Amino acid sequence: MRTVISRIFYALILIGLSLVLSSCGYNTIPTLEEQAKARWSDVQNQYQRRADLIPNLVSTVQGYAAQEKSVLTGVVEARAKATQIKVDASDLTDPDKIKAFQDAQAQLTGALGRLLAVSENYPELKSNANFMALQSQLEGKNRIAVARRDYIDAVRAFNTALRTFPTVIWAKTAFSGEKPMAAFTATAGAETPPQVKF
C-alpha cells in the first residue's frame, strides 16, 4: 500500500513540477522578441511596397505635369533617402536608428503628399486609370499604420516581459543581454491638427 501511495505522491510531484516549469516564463522573452522582429519585417515590407510603387507614379505624373519638376524631383530624392536607411532586427534596440528610419519615411510621406496635391491641378491626370490605381495603392497608408501599430504592440509586450514577474527573473539571468526595443514615436507636428481652408 505504501508503494502505491508513494508512486501517486511522486506522480503528483512530477505533474506539479511540469506545471510550474511550463508556466515559468522562460520561453516568453524569446517568443515575444521573435514576434516583435516579425512585426518589424511587416513594417519594412509595407514601406518597401510603397517605395516600389513610387517610380510608376512619378512616371505617370511626369507625362501630364512636366512643369512640376521640383515636386517630382523631391519625391525621387525622398524615396532614395528612405530606401538607403536600413534597420534590421539587430537594430531594434537603438532608438536613434529607429528615429532616423522614421524621419526618412516621414519625409517621403510629405513628398508624396505634395505630389498628390499637384495632381489636383491636372484633371486629365486625375482621370487616368493608371494614376488612380497607383494613387489607391499608395494611399494604403492604412497598411503602414496597421503594420506600425502591430509592431508597437509587439514591442510593448516584449518590453513589458523584460520588466514584469516572473519573466523579469529570466531577463536578469538567462537573457541579461536583452535590451528594450524602440517603438515608433509620433512625428513632429502630429499633435497639431491640419488646417482646413475653404
**For 61-89, how does the pLDDT look when each residue is reduced to its tens digit (9 = 90+)?**
888 877 788 888 899 999 999 999 999 88
Residue 55 lies in a domain: yes
Residue 50 lies in a domain: yes
- Evaluate if residue 194 carries a pLDDT over 60: no
Mean pLDDT of the chain: 84
Choose the weakest-confidence range: 9-18, 115-124, 148-157.
9-18
Cβ atoms within 10 A of the Cβ of 186, count?
8
pTM metric for this prediction: 0.76
For 87, counting Cβ atoms within 10 Å of its Cβ (0-12 exposed, 13-18 middle, 19+ buried), the class is: middle
Distance in angstroms (rounded) separating the CA atoms of residues 90 and 92: 6
Question: Could you tell me if 116 and 135 are in contact, meaning their C-beta atoms sit under 8 angstroms apart?
Answer: yes
Q: Which three cell numbers stand for residue 7?
A: 508512486
What average pLDDT score do residues 166-171 get? 85
Distances (CA, A) of 101 to 83, 135, 142: 9, 23, 18
Q: Which domain holds residue 103?
A: 24-172
Q: Provide the pLDDT for residue 22.
A: 56
In the chain, the number of structural domains is: 1
SS3 helix, strand, coil % of the chain, rounded to 5?
Answer: 75, 0, 25
Distance in angstroms (rounded) separating the CA atoms of residues 33 and 20: 22
Residue 1 lies in a domain: no
User: Each residue of 109-150: pLDDT tens digit?
Assistant: 999 888 888 888 888 887 788 888 888 887 765 888 899 999
Residue 13 lies in a domain: no
Residue 4 lies in a domain: no
State the amino acid at position 178 in one-letter form.
E
Q: Provide the pLDDT for residue 196.
A: 37
Q: Which of 74, 81, 82, 84 is nearest to 118 (CA)?
A: 74
What average pLDDT score do residues 188-198 get? 48
Q: Provide the pLDDT for residue 162.
A: 92
Residue 109 lies in a domain: yes
Q: What is the DSSP string of 173-189?
A: TTTTT--PPP---PPTT
3-state secondary structure of 98: helix
Residue 72's domain is classified under what CATH number? 1.20.1440.20
Residue 85 lies in a domain: yes
| Torsion angle of the four alpha carbons 115, 117, 123, 124, in this order, in degrees rounded to the nearest 10 | 10
pLDDT tier for residue 197 given thresholds of 50, 70 and 90 = very low
Residue 62 lies in a domain: yes
